[in-house]
Copies of this chain bind each other. A is one copy, B any other.
Amino acid sequence: MASWYRDELKVDAIAIDDRGLQYSDGLFETIAIRDGRPRLWALHSDRLQTGCRRLGIRLPAADELLHGLTSALRAAGKVEQDALLKIIVTRGQGDRGYAPPPNAGATVLFGVFERTQHAARLYQQGVAIRFCNARLASQPQTAGIKLLSCLDQVRARGEWHDPDIAEGLMLDQDGSVVSGTMSNLFIVRGSKLITPEITNCGVSGVMRRHILALAAVDDVPFEVDRILPEAVRTADEIFLCNSQFGIWPVSLCGTAPIDDWPLTRKINAMLRDSGVIEGPE
């Protein structure tokens, strides 16, 4: 069960004229809480600030946001515990009409959820994934930020019910692979990491950014590039990442089965060294 908070008060509803509902006029973040602390907070905060700046939404200051987050965790009884925290920021309430109200105060909501526990085999044996028919809309003007508007992802996630399929890959309008529905994608070719560019669509995931930063520091060769489906199918290794599960090696994706992920394991070890510990040791 989730608990939601606003201005340190528990809430279970939102005003019907909130522009988040009426126009999808907002953003969100999904943050892993470990021992009561938000993991990769600087990256989440940065993406949220960037998004609000690009949309002209007045976000509270970073320390105020962190205070709200901490209050929500406390109220939900998650002091020094693990959890998943979702922040929703909307432009606030307003009259009918697309024009942003000049003095709207943002609506900031904190949702506290149980941490999702993933089976150890997903990390050890890898996950099977698929290609989705639902594609991501092409919109360079908002690519990278995490919009409330997720209908493309919803359509994609609705395509399969097989619980053995952990994730679906989504293409952009030109047929390049962008990401999973809820994760970013890396492939390995030889000794090089490659991840799709997030320029026309897709979310610039915090775990993706963290991995790229670690790769840069540790001299792991990497490239941010256009990736065609065929490049995924013929990759030496494939892995997915997001803020919650960390890294999942991919065992099957319309490919011959993959059961060895040396570079993926190395990246995961680097993540662990940086404090991002998920899955079995």
Q: How far is the CA of A11 from the CA of B139 in the complex (A)?
A: 35
A35 contacts chain B at the CB level, 8 A cutoff: no
Chain A, interface residues (CB within 8 Å), range = 35 or more
A155 contacts chain B at the CB level, 8 A cutoff: yes
A4 contacts chain B at the CB level, 8 A cutoff: yes
A154 contacts chain B at the CB level, 8 A cutoff: yes
Stretch at the interface among A13-21, A204-212, A226-234, A256-264: A13-21
Given the complex, which residues of B lie within 8 Å of A276, measured CB to CB? none
Given the complex, which residues of B lie within 8 Å of A201, measured CB to CB? 137
Q: How far is the CA of A11 from the CA of B17 in the complex (A)?
A: 11
Copies of this chain, tallied across the complex: 2
Q: Taking A13-B14, A100-B158 as contacts, is the C-beta distance between A20 and B21 under 8 angstroms?
A: yes
Q: Point out the residue from B99, B147, B156 that lies within 8 Å of A151, measured CB to CB.
A: B147
B11 touches A16 (CB 8 A): yes
Q: How far is the CA of A135 from the CA of B139 in the complex (A)?
A: 8
A153 touches B12 (CB 8 A): no
Q: How far is the CA of A171 from the CA of B281 in the complex (A)?
A: 51
Given the complex, which residues of B lie within 8 Å of A154, measured CB to CB? 19, 23, 25, 55, 91, 98-100
Interface residues of A in 206-242 (CB under 8 A from B): none
B23 touches A14 (CB 8 A): no
A12 touches B21 (CB 8 A): no
Query: Closest B-chain residue to A90, C-beta based?
Result: B21
Given the complex, which residues of B lie within 8 Å of A158, measured CB to CB? 56, 98-100
Q: How far is the CA of A151 from the CA of B26 in the complex (A)?
A: 8
Q: How far is the CA of A96 from the CA of B142 in the complex (A)?
A: 23
A181 contacts chain B at the CB level, 8 A cutoff: yes
Q: Taking A100-B154, A157-B100 as contacts, is the C-beta distance between A21 and B141 under 8 angstroms?
A: no
Q: How far is the CA of A153 from the CA of B23 in the complex (A)?
A: 9
Cβ distance A155 to chain B, nearest Cβ, rounded Å:
7
Interface residues of A in 1-16 (CB under 8 A from B): 2, 4, 11-16
